[in-house]
Structure 1
Amino acid sequence: MAGKLYGVGVGPGDPELLTLKALRLINEADVIMVPGEEVEESLAYKIVKDHIRDPHLRKIAAVSMPMTKDSKVLEANHRNAANEVEEYLDEDKTVAFLTLGDPTIYSTYIYVHKLVEKDGYNTEIISGITSFCAASARLNEGLVEKEQMLHVVPSSYGIEDALRLPGTRVLMKAGSKMPQIKQMLKETNGKIAMVENCGMENEKVYLSPEEIDERAGYYSLIIIKEAERLG
């Protein structure tokens, strides 16, 4: 009998935003898998490490997840990761695969999940607090109200059309193109703020496009709220 794979969302960075369910499954798992080249360098692992009971009693393994848009490289790495997971499942082990935020929102994990599920194994997704909800809370304000729409946009694929959408726009992982994005934000109407590394020790908050550091890191999230209509 094969084991079961859990894709566990660990939230955006603050260990106190881990859910009770995530913590329970992490501590019940035979194997904890984290994205990265080394376990200790994995951000997902850093979030949970102080909450793992008896880490010496379980296997903790890093899985290579390179940041690239090369589809062949991505497919090969996803397949390799799925194969590693399936080796443990074939030994009737429970695997908790950790991922930042929520596994259903632009998560590399979901590609591994789909491969393992397609191969006939038992899988389950454990939701985590999303980065854009955490960032909005950090800014101490709501994300959308009444009839307003919410648009979640991956910044690395171009945002020109998204900036013209009505409602609230969330630009995720904006760090890689920050100089270009900052210039476009200066020409965009509305209330604009950015949270870099939300919930982490090196968190920074910027309350206008002019304040944004063009060298901001990969985990930078921008919230653009539509200008309030008068009358």
Structure 2
Amino acid sequence: MKLYGIGVGPGDPELLTLKAYKILKGVDMIIAPRSSEDKRSRALHTVEEVIKERDCIVVEPVFPMTKDQDKLEQYWKKAREEVLAKGNGCGTAAFITLGDPSMYSTFYRFLDVFNDLVEELEVIPGVTSFSACTSTAQVPLVEGTEIVSIIPDVKAKKAMQVIESSDSLIFLKPKDLDKIEDMLGNEKAILCVKVGFDDQELISGKVSEIEEPTHYLSTLIVKKSMDTKPKPEPRDYTRLTQKGELRDTNGKWLYKDLTQEIIGAAMEVHRKLGSGFLEYVYEEALSYELNLKKVHFERQKELDIYYKDLLIPRKYKPDLMVDSKVIVEIKATSGLTEIEEAQLLNYLKATKMRVGLLLNFATKSLEVKRRIL
């Protein structure tokens, strides 16, 4: 049997290579791994339009997300039996995987299990998630002699050494981001969630401002700045113990759970409405979502403005005041600028509030800026 290992890209069918397209149009069997019995293969979803009118065999073996080797061996054995049973007599087969077969894919483990059946092998590269992320965000990953590193786990022994010596960093399925805040907290970053899919999200900001993602298909791109000026010492805040408040004494994760709720609601609004509406439409929709989540908020609440000890007679009215803790300003512009960020910081200072969110719904993906005083 001739086996093709095919990378189908990050999830966007239009990013499938022409060579992959041609092969998928002609193979006898397609093997599309999935993570559990109750989920469809994401790779198969990507190529559905290519194979929908074909009469080919499709096998979706389950390869669970676990480090338990005994359990994995059982699933690999079951996958072999399933492929042999359904693919008896097939001359060609394609194992499809998201991204590229050579990048953290199950393809080569699959090849080990089926090596005795493979007479000929061909591997077709695919677009990786991180190249799709930087392309969507329209930023260069590396230039000139810069060094880029891929970090699958920040707790790995060599991770900190690699982080320190690299110019750009790719964190796959990022977790435990608090471990790198001391090193990268002020660096610019882009969080890509489900890039390539219809409901993809891109969130930009400093590493210290970006909430840790919960979705498996997440990638964090960090592009170190060239500014060599010493960074100011972090302000020392008193540790709070209530859920959702300070995570550490630097105040970097103030009201983390609450801001995650707000951003999650905003993502849902953007998924449903997309871009193109005026700000008041998004304000109405976001208010509706927050009500569904039972998050307390007030619209256009009047806040006192202070100059030193002087109370200014006029009031400031944020779009939303959430739980009397977070100011939310809603925008519908082509892109957030330093002007909007400066305004938000001034609002926080003048009202003696601590946390503010800028949410811009007019871009292809929701644009989020989180600011803390």
Match of 2:167 in 1: 167
Give the Cα–Cα distance (whole angstroms) in 2 for the partners of residues 45 and 79 of structure 1: 21
Give the Cα–Cα distance (whole angstroms) in 2 for the partners of residues 196 and 163 of structure 1: 22
Match of 1:226 in 2: 224
Give the Cα–Cα distance (whole angstroms) in 2 for the partners of residues 52 and 40 of structure 1: 19
Residue of structure 2 aligned with 1:58, choices 56, 59, 73: 56
- Asked whether the equivalents of residues 31 and 95 of structure 1 are also in contact (C-alpha less than 8 Å), the reply is yes
- Asked whether the equivalents of residues 59 and 86 of structure 2 are also in contact (C-alpha less than 8 Å), the reply is no
Residue identity (%): 31
Aligned Cα root-mean-square deviation (Å): 2.6
Match of 1:102 in 2: 100
- Asked whether the equivalents of residues 57 and 87 of structure 2 are also in contact (C-alpha less than 8 Å), the reply is no
1:206-231 Cα shifts (integer Å, max 9, x gaps): 11235534343011101111221559
1:110-152 Cα shifts (integer Å, max 9, x gaps): 2102332355532221110111111110110111111111111
- Per the TM alignment, residue 89 of structure 1 is displaced from its structure 2 partner at its CA by 6.3
Q: Which has the larger radius of gyration?
A: 2
What runs of 5+ residues in structure 2 fail to find an aligned partner?
A: 230-373
Equivalent position amino acid for 1:171 in 2? F
Equivalent position amino acid for 1:164 in 2? E
- Per the TM alignment, residue 195 of structure 1 is displaced from its structure 2 partner at its CA by 0.6
Higher relative contact order (CA 8 A, sep 6+): 1
Match of 1:154 in 2: 152
- Per the TM alignment, residue 15 of structure 1 is displaced from its structure 2 partner at its CA by 0.8
- Asked whether the equivalents of residues 43 and 97 of structure 2 are also in contact (C-alpha less than 8 Å), the reply is yes
TM-score (norm 1): 0.85
Match of 1:195 in 2: 192
Aligned length: 224
Residue of structure 2 aligned with 1:181, choices 169, 174, 177: 177
User: Could you say if the C-alpha distance between residues 11 and 183 of structure 1 is closer, same or farther in structure 2, counting changes exceeding 3 Å?
Assistant: same
- Per the TM alignment, residue 71 of structure 1 is displaced from its structure 2 partner at its CA by 1.9
Match of 2:202 in 1: 205
TM-score (norm 2): 0.54
Q: Tell me the secondary structure at the aligned position of residue 63 of structure 1.
A: coil
Matches within 5 A, 1:3-18: 3-18=1-16
User: Could you say if the C-alpha distance between residues 68 and 183 of structure 1 is closer, same or farther in structure 2, counting changes exceeding 3 Å?
Assistant: same
Give the Cα–Cα distance (whole angstroms) in 1 for the partners of residues 51 and 182 of structure 2: 44
Give the Cα–Cα distance (whole angstroms) in 1 for the partners of residues 123 and 85 of structure 2: 19
- Per the TM alignment, residue 27 of structure 1 is displaced from its structure 2 partner at its CA by 1.4
User: Could you say if the C-alpha distance between residues 87 and 77 of structure 1 is closer, same or farther in structure 2, counting changes exceeding 3 Å?
Assistant: same
Match of 2:115 in 1: 117
- Per the TM alignment, residue 181 of structure 1 is displaced from its structure 2 partner at its CA by 1.2
User: Could you say if the C-alpha distance between residues 87 and 185 of structure 1 is closer, same or farther in structure 2, counting changes exceeding 3 Å?
Assistant: farther
- Per the TM alignment, residue 194 of structure 1 is displaced from its structure 2 partner at its CA by 1.0
User: Could you say if the C-alpha distance between residues 83 and 162 of structure 1 is closer, same or farther in structure 2, counting changes exceeding 3 Å?
Assistant: farther
Give the number of the structure whose residues are more often helix, by fraction. 1
Match of 1:43 in 2: 42
Runs of 4+ aligned structure 1 residues displaced above 6 Å come to none
Q: Tell me the secondary structure at the aligned position of residue 45 of structure 2.
A: helix
What runs of 5+ residues in structure 1 fail to find an aligned partner?
A: none
Give the Cα–Cα distance (whole angstroms) in 2 for the partners of residues 73 and 203 of structure 1: 32
- Per the TM alignment, residue 165 of structure 1 is displaced from its structure 2 partner at its CA by 2.9
Give the Cα–Cα distance (whole angstroms) in 2 for the partners of residues 7 and 79 of structure 1: 19
